[in-house]
Amino acid sequence: MSLSLFTDLSLAHGGGFGFNGNILETNIINLAAVVGIVISFVGGNLTQLLEDRKKTILNNLEEANQRALEAQERLSQARAQLEIARKKAKEIREEGIQKAAQEIKFCVSQHEERIALLDEFKQETISFYQQKAFKQAYVYLISRIMTRVRERLNTGLDASAHVVVNNYYVSRFTDYAARK
C-alpha cells in the first residue's frame, strides 16, 4: 500500500505523482504488486510443489490401480478356489451317500445273518426241548408201566391177564413165522 501511495502522490502533482483518494483502486494496485512479488519469489517453489503433488497423486492412482488389479486377481483366484471347493464338497457328499448305502446294505446283511442264526438256534432249542419232553414222557410212561407190571407180578396174574399175555405172545409168534 505504501508503494502505491507514493506513486499516486507523485503522479498527481504536475503530471506525475499525486494522492489518489480512491481506496479501491489503491487496493487493486497494491494487490497486483503483492501478487507479482509473490509470483516472482514463490512461483518457482509453488510450481515445483504442484508438480510434486501431481506426481504423488499419479503415483497414488497408479498404486490404487495396481492394488485394484491385484484384488481382482485375488478375487478370481478365490472364485476358482470356491468352485474347486464346491466340486470337492459335491464329490465328498456323493461319496458319503455311497458309503452310507454300502453301510446300510452291510448292516442289513449282518442283521439277516443274525436273524438266520437266531432262527436256527430257535429250531435247535425247540428240538432239544421236544426231545427232552419226549424223554421225560417216555421215562414217565416206562416208570408207570414198570410200576403196574410190578403190581401185577406182586399180586399175581388172574385168568383174564393170562389170556391177554398168551394172546399177545401167540400173535407175535404167528407174525414171526409168517415173515420167514
Domain coordinates of the chain in residue numbers? 2-179
Which stretches within the chain are classed as H helix? 2-12, 23-155, 159-179
Contact predicate 18/9, CB 8 Å: yes
Output the pLDDT for position 16. 54
What's 17's DSSP letter? Answer: E
pLDDT of residue 36: 82
pLDDT per residue over 108-163, tens digit each?
999 999 999 999 999 999 999 999 999 999 999 989 988 888 887 777 767 787 78
What is the structure's pLDDT at 13?
A: 45
pLDDT tens digits, one per residue of 52-100: 999 999 999 999 999 999 999 999 999 999 999 999 999 999 999 999 9
Q: How confident is the model at residue 27 (pLDDT cuts 50, 70, 90)?
A: confident
Q: How far is CA 153 from the centre of its chain?
A: 89
**pTM (2 d.p.):** 0.39
18 pLDDT more than 70: no
